[in-house]
Amino acid sequence: MKKGLVSCLLFIGFLLAGCRQKESEVLIIPQPQLSKVSSGTYRLQQQTTFSSNLPEEENQEFIEYLQASPLALQLETGDLQKSEVKFTIVAPATEKESLESYQLSVTEKGISVSAPSVAGLFYGFQTLLQLAEQGEGDTFVFPLVEIKDSPRFPYRGLHLDVSRHFRTKEFIKKQLDAMARYKLNRFHWHLTDGAGWRLEIKRYPELTEQAAYRPYPNWKAWWKGGRKYCTKDTPGAQGGYYTQEDAKEIVEYARQRHITVIPEIEMPGHSEEVLAVFPQLSCSGKPYVNSEFCIGNEDTFTFLQNVLLEVMEIFPSEYIHVGGDEADMTSWKKCPLCQKKMKEEGLSDVKELQSYLIHRMEKFLNDHNRQLLGWDEILEGGLAPRATVMSWRGEEGGISAAKAGHDVIMTPGGYCYLDAYQDAPTTQPEAIGGYLTLEKVYSYNPVPEVLTKEEAAYIQGVQANVWAEYMPTPEHMEYMIYPRLLAVAEVAWTQPDNKNWERFHRCALKEVKWLQDNGYHPFDLSKEVGERPEAASLVEHLGRMKPVKYTTPYAPQYTAGGDSALVDGYRGGWTYGDKRWQGFLNTDMDVTVDLGKVTDISSIAAEFMQLSGPYVWLPREVIISVSEDGKTFTEQQHLYTDVPTTEDRLVFRTYQWEGKASARYVRYQALSNGIEGGWLFTDEIVIK
């Protein structure tokens, strides 16, 4: 295959059936900034000629891409005026115009695309491909349209985790093709994590020899079965890694699609696999004990710098992602080397110790003309001077970084984590939890209102994150990615005033069909079930908006609105994170509702959920009691859960008493199962 040749197989059988655009709209994703549709159509024969004024070094790649596309455009070598399709490089209209901008015109005479760079021409061609509808034979039909377009953000990303479940380079290339179609331009490659090391490092071959395979069928079995690694020839070994040549091939494939590959090498946490191979870099000095590097050990920095030197030889990206998230700092507090380092550097706590590592790694990267990118935990203990923050724990980290003058990539879990259920969990394959619909992803605005215009300028873009714990197969991963990635693409490209959910939904239905026809495995949006029925309407009951006394406090992370949450009449949806479920961490739930006067009661009920992945459990026991004076309570019901903690699926259970009683006070106790870090969640105490 010649350099720059697009994968023809992904486009063979190109069909854009259904959902024909109305005369007044353009049905493509992402929606252009300006478009005007006229009546009539233009018909283009396959293998029609095109002309281009691209420089020779860029022209050949572009020619090959156009020839291999469904339109199979052929370069005009004679009279350029004969070309029905023209691609032209033009000077930017203004100094601030994005080099990725383009203008596209389809008239009765032909098609023209102009842009200030080959990237802009490339994106104009992607728009053209989406506009095309199959006509008779080898003819394609286009609406007559004028488009002027440019991206809202320079960073438009997709993150893929290949540590939890390894994916082949062919799979990666396939996703890069889809990214190009939807004008995404950053591929964040999560190459290392506790579940496996996936990149060949020639100085340390043991990393892939001993930590790229696991003797378990999938991540969940590894997580629950001892979390050990093995060599490739071990019976039952699962996993894999990319040679440096593989990685370079993917980098080049991405470059030809105007996508930059950003590698992630985790530090200081999520490093169990490294420390199993090189235990001397941990605080204990023993394998399978620590997850974090020993920051007090200078050999740690030697190792990390040697790894990054090879990484930088493979990946030309400005950014190198160093992780920096979820470090368990317990071992540092007890480690003599770490404590000595803290004393030498005048560090007051272990958060500053992590910051010390991040600062050193940033200087190392800066010295090699690279920039450090990390998850928002790198803010803790003091942010490195030139670091860019990827905000995942909500938007707070991104807001803080922007206010401090640092570039930010927004990727909050509530909108951008594609490992959550995308439809009713009872209809979906197993996921880590949560409920993130296409509509909610589409609703996201990466620029928080609290930022000033000057601060907002530091928001460089947005990224979808795909974590693979519960995605054991390539098909399952694609099912979780698409079509939600399309919503991220439009959030990243299209100005908010040009977004429209109804139009986008029509486009997404069309694109799901395209994805299916081209070998992808998207969620079938046409069969979406939607939100939990219980959450659809207000529940009227005797306890609604009555005073509630909490004997045990709810967790500040999940208040659901505070003291009235359990009697506000609103039921929860499919996820505990929807701000309707109130959470209790490491404690029982014990609340009393004051009805205001002695009242005849026939039913008292509350619903709980269980999802073992995030440690959300049903109560071990439920005790329902009533009282007339608020002092002496009579037990009405004592219930026990019938669901084991080993149950993996999302489960809802209602614990209810029915009978006859007269009372002013209703006490509802839900007892925790005692698992450390465990949650109880309930949405409403319904009293009738």
Q: What's the token pair of residue 36?
A: 């005007």
CA dist 122 and 65 (Å) reads 9
Residue 8: the pLDDT is 40
Q: List strand residue ranges (DSSP E) for 100-152, in order.
A: 102-107, 110-115, 133-134, 139-149
Could you tell me which CATH class the domain 533-687 is placed in? Answer: mainly beta
CA dist 541 and 352 (Å) reads 51
Query: Of 521, 486, 2, nearest to 253 (Cα)?
Result: 2
Task: Tell me the torsion sign for CA atoms 84, 87, 90, 94.
Answer: positive
CA dist 254 and 185 (Å) reads 9
CA dist 399 and 110 (Å) reads 47
Length of the chain: 688
Query: Of 441, 437, 429, 439, nearest to 468 (Cα)?
Result: 429
Residues labelled as active-site residues = 193, 270, 326
Q: List strand residue ranges (DSSP E) for 108-203, in order.
A: 110-115, 133-134, 139-149, 155-161, 186-190, 192-193, 196-197
ω into 483 cis (within 30 of 0): yes
Residue range(s) occupied by CATH 3.30.379.10 in the chain:
8-149
Helix 484-493 vs helix 474-481: angle between axes, to the nearest 10 degrees? Answer: 40
Contact 89, 54 (CB under 8 A): yes
Residue range(s) occupied by CATH 2.60.120.260 in the chain:
533-687
Residue range(s) occupied by CATH 3.20.20.80 in the chain:
155-523
Contact 616, 555 (CB under 8 A): no
Query: Of 332, 373, 473, 479, nearest to 420 (Cα)?
Result: 479
Residues of the chain with pLDDT under 70: 1-24, 80
Which CATH architecture is the domain 8-149 placed in? 2-Layer Sandwich (3.30)
CB under 8 Å to 66, separation ≥6 — which residues?
50, 73, 125
Please name every residue paired with 375 in a beta bridge, in sequence order, or none if there are none. 390
CA dist 595 and 664 (Å) reads 5
Contact 250, 160 (CB under 8 A): no
Q: What's the token pair of residue 650?
A: 């999302």
Q: What does DSSP say about strands 459-466 and 408-410: parallel, antiparallel, or unpaired?
A: parallel
Contact 185, 258 (CB under 8 A): yes
pTM (2 decimals)? 0.93
CA dist 552 and 286 (Å) reads 41
Q: What's the token pair of residue 344?
A: 């030498």
Identify the helix (H) or strand (E) that includes residue 671.
Answer: strand 651-671
- Tens digit of pLDDT for each residue in 458-489? 999 999 999 999 999 999 999 999 999 999 99
Phi, psi of 588 (to 5 degrees): -75, 165
Pick the CATH number of 155-523 from 3.20.20.140, 1.25.40.90, 3.40.1010.10, 3.20.20.80: 3.20.20.80
Cβ neighbour number for residue 141 with a 10 Å cutoff: 16
CA dist 194 and 168 (Å) reads 19
Contact 513, 50 (CB under 8 A): no
Complete DSSP assignment for 86-113: EEEE---SSTT--TT-EEEEEETTEEEE
Task: Tell me the torsion sign for CA atoms 641, 646, 647, 652.
Answer: positive
Query: Of 357, 206, 365, nearest to 275 (Cα)?
Result: 206
Residue 24: the pLDDT is 63
Residue found by looking up tokens 């910051």 in the block: 355
